[in-house]
Amino acid sequence: MGYICTPIKRRCVSFNIERLFIVYMSKGFPRLLLLYILVLFASCSSTKYVANGSYLLDEVKIHTDNKDVKPSTLQPYVRQNPNAKWFNAIKIQLYIYNLSGRDSTRWVNRFLRKIGNEPVIYNEALAQRSENEITKAVQNMGYMGATVKTGTKIKKKKLKLSYDVALGKPYTIRSIKREINDSKITACLPEDSLYSLLKEGMLFNVNVLDAERQRVTNRLLRNGYYKFNKDFITYIADTVKNTHWVDLTLQVLPYKAHISDTPKDHNQYTLNNVSFIIDYDIMRSSSLNSIYTNDSIHYNGIPIYYSNKPYLRPKILVNNLRLQQGDLYDERDVQRTYSNFGRLSALKYTNIRFIETQIGDSAKLDAYILLTKSKSQSVSFEIEGTNSAGDLGAAAAVSYHHRNLFHGSERLLLKFRGAYEAISGLTQDYKNDNYTEYGVEASINFPRFLFPFLSSDFRRGIRATTEFRMQYNYQIRPEFLRMVASASWSYHWIERQRAQHRIDLIDVNYLYMPSISDAFQELYEGNKNYILEYNYKDRLIVRMGYTYNYNSVGANLTNNTIASNSYSIRAGIESAGNALYAFSKLAGLPRNGKGEYSLLNIPFAQYIKADFDFAKNIVMDERNSLAYHLGMGIAIPYGNAGVIPFEKRYFSGGANSVRGWSVRNLGPGSFSGDENFLNQSGDIKLDASVELRSELFWKFQGALFVDAGNIWTLHNYSEEQPGGKFKFDRFYRQIAVAYGLGLRLDLDFFVIRLDGGMKAIDPVYSSGKQRYPIIRPKFGRDFALHFAVGYPF
């Protein structure tokens, strides 16, 4: 049984949820409306399962008397929080839980309790612990005299809890001294004082003091102090009587392995022998003595031990090594070595072990790089469903991977793909109404920088991978046959685990149209539409480009979840046809009937294109976040081309754009669209989105979003695109706006997303009610549903 409140007398009456569920399914009531009514009615019984003498923790607030300390910085120290709110507004899961009856044998009751949240009952002990933790936190910030007062307000069975923080006057550092009795360490640190986090006049913040300990430790670890850690750094803080001044002394303690040992100076270690063991079994070998090796070879004086046959060339191993005999131990070199070997697909694990040795008065380290081999070859199969503008189909692919092709950890990929799709909405009579596609792809990736005429030392200093790729795609449509062949040479590298760079040195694409049906040619090529005519002719695209990606939380972030504040930047620029155009111009080559230069009678494209995307995620609390995104791009044809190739044009609408419109169904400008999707493409794109994301239950997340954007053309390519050209005095009135709801299933390794968008402002109309469908929405006219994988940004 469950309970609802009658709207007149506000009294609770019982009802049978199972019967209501059956009626709902049979009658077909709108689900969103029913959910809203249930939540509204359930609000009267939020304390249904709160026992007498107990209180539902309804709200927790923190107040501070100093704007320099924001309540949000103290929220993590609260040890008991009220029931979570969806979108930081409604405690829906609590209401769902309270909809359940007391009979636990009924499946509906068990289901409601599973997806809901039981009420959080106020716990005085946890409140006292929160008070103590907040007090300690603000005292660590320098407010040593701070006090925290806990207050409660009770209304019936609900309790509102508050923490009032009185900070008082903070303690300030008056002077800073160092006490270092180790002459070698003293020599390492003075020049580093400019980068110290400690400044006279700063607050006596324990967190900053600890960060300075770690900073000093990191510097010493880069200068040979292999066994140093921050526990050897302490502080002495003397307060000046009757003031809030602190005289601070930083001490570096002498080395002691055990408490009973005699203190001594810290050893500064130098690397002695550096060796490779390339058949290391992490499951069987617990120590270096238990590792079995059968033979060894030497390369540049470095021994390489193995048990069978070496699977990596010695040069590859040594070139990725950043540890050299005679150098001071440097933690950065260790991490660079890990990073370099982590890029080698032939390796599964990399471990580096150091063994201390004493040669005379010098402390030495023998370094062993232990490598575990990865599986070199594999075959994978993929099956997927396709949906191109509503046309359903299927695709299958088989891939072959070789991760150590030339014994230098080169990655080979061979992929064969086939797809089939049933095409609907054809207006002409064709021989068939199916789309078939066959494709083959081959790529090889070298985990090093390759370029002719450069010295090996120069190439070794560049941490880039080199990729060569070739693709061939054969498309059979009712209207035409089309073949696309491409070949590319590119470089990739990662900088500090946060920034990724890609340089496409050369990317050649050849588009060949062996046949076009008479009906299609008459329909599209005879209407003087330059965009259509240009994109259904043989074309050569020779491009080069650069792409930059930055993520503030680094490569560990797989999905844009609400776990932490973060932002990302993506920028790219590419150009095509410049070298060919210059060559044709200098050589005085003839132009064709369209005024284009050709290479082997194939006209080539010429353009420049730039894109920029920015996305930011702001955490509101542990379950809610606000994310926003801004994207823009422009593609300019010139020289040998008057239009951008189809593959490089912009489209708007869809799951990752303005979600009130279907994919490729918005713009350009105020153009309303027609049967040809190519007419709804542009040279300029603007997208902006805001999402309020909230964890719902289990692995489900919800989103409220608002999108805005559109595309425009730079020229009037066709009379069939009225209102599509970008103009400064009216483009802002052609920005479409949509709003909607989203549901996401976060499976950690990927996200399944379902978004429903509604039109709010329709740029097709310049005025009147039709321009603002948000005022009088019509579901059949304004709604678009999108299914996608991954977050929109």
pLDDT digits (tens, 9 = 90+) for 192-206: 567 889 999 999 999
* Side-chain-side CA neighbours of residue 676 (13 Å): 19
- Residue 11's pLDDT band, with cuts at 50, 70 and 90, is very low
Determine whether 4 is exposed, middle or buried from the number of CB atoms within 10 Å of its CB (0-12, 13-18, 19+): buried
> Mean per-residue pLDDT for 277-303?
79
pLDDT band at 2 (very low <50, low <70, confident <90, very high): very low
Q: For the chain, what's the residue count? A: 793
Low-confidence winner among 357-361, 396-400, 595-599 (lowest mean pLDDT): 357-361
Is the confidence at residue 555, as pLDDT, over 90? no
Please give the average per-residue pLDDT across 104-124, as a whole number.
Answer: 90
Helix H or strand E encompassing 411:
strand 411-422
Q: Residue 771 has which token pair?
A: 């321009």
Cα distance between residue 159 and residue 122, in whole Å: 7
Q: Which two tokens stand for residue 766?
A: 């310049």
13 — pLDDT class (breaks 50, 70, 90): very low
Structure tokens at 146: 């701070």
3-state secondary structure of 120: coil
pLDDT band of residue 1 (cuts 50, 70, 90) is: very low
Cis, bond preceding 637 (omega within 30 deg of 0): no
Residue 495 has a pLDDT of: 84
Q: Does 457 score more than 80 pLDDT? A: no
pLDDT at residue 758 tops 60:
yes
Least reliable range by pLDDT among 570-579, 624-633, 778-787: 778-787
Residue 756 scores a pLDDT above 50: yes
Could you tell me the two tokens for 721?
A: 């695109």
**Three-state DSSP class for 148?**
strand
pLDDT at residue 557 is higher than 70: no
Whether the Cβ atoms of residue 370 and residue 353 lie closer than 8 Å to each other? yes
Helix or strand (DSSP H, E) at 399: strand 391-402
If you ran DSSP here, which 8-state letter would residue 337 be given? H
Average pLDDT over residues 170-182: 93
Q: What is the pLDDT of residue 387?
A: 62
Residues 6+ apart with CB under 8 A from 462: 449, 493
**β-pairing verdict for 465-476 and 480-495:** antiparallel
The per-residue pLDDT for 711 is: 95
Instruction: Residue 636: name the closest of 661, 609, 614 by CA.
Output: 609
- Gap between the Cα atoms of 534 and 596, Å rounded: 12
Q: Whole-model pTM above 0.75?
A: yes
Report DSSP letters for 168-214, one per residue.
Answer: -SPPEEEEEEEEE--HHHHHHSGGGGGG-S--TTSB--HHHHHHHHH
- In this predicted structure, what is the pLDDT of residue 10? 34
Summarize pLDDT for 219-272 with one digit per residue, the tens: 999 999 999 999 999 999 999 888 999 999 999 999 988 888 889 999 999 999
CB atoms within 10 A of CB 772: 16
Q: What is the dihedral of CA 209, 211, 217, 222, to 10 degrees?
A: -140
CA 123 to chain CA centroid, Å, is 38
Per-residue CA distances from 674 to 21, 668, 671 (Å): 43, 12, 9
- Helices and strands in the chain, H and E counts: 15, 31
CA 598 to chain centre: 42
Given a contact cutoff of 8 angstroms between Cβ atoms, the answer to whether 724 and 671 are in contact is yes
**Confidence class of residue 577 from pLDDT cuts 50, 70 and 90?**
very high
DSSP state of 614: E
DSSP string, 329-375: P-HHHHHHHHHHHHT-TTEEEEEEEEEEEEETTEEEEEEEEEEEEPP
φ, ψ dihedrals at 114, nearest 5°: -70, -45
Structure tokens at 41: 């009615």
CA separation for the pair 336, 319 (Å, rounded): 12
In the chain, % of residues over pLDDT 70 = 88
Which range (438-452, 557-571, 650-664, 670-684) has the least confidence? 557-571
Higher pLDDT, residue 322 or 392: 322
Task: Compute the distance between CA of residue 569 and CA of residue 504 in angstroms, rounded to an integer.
Answer: 19
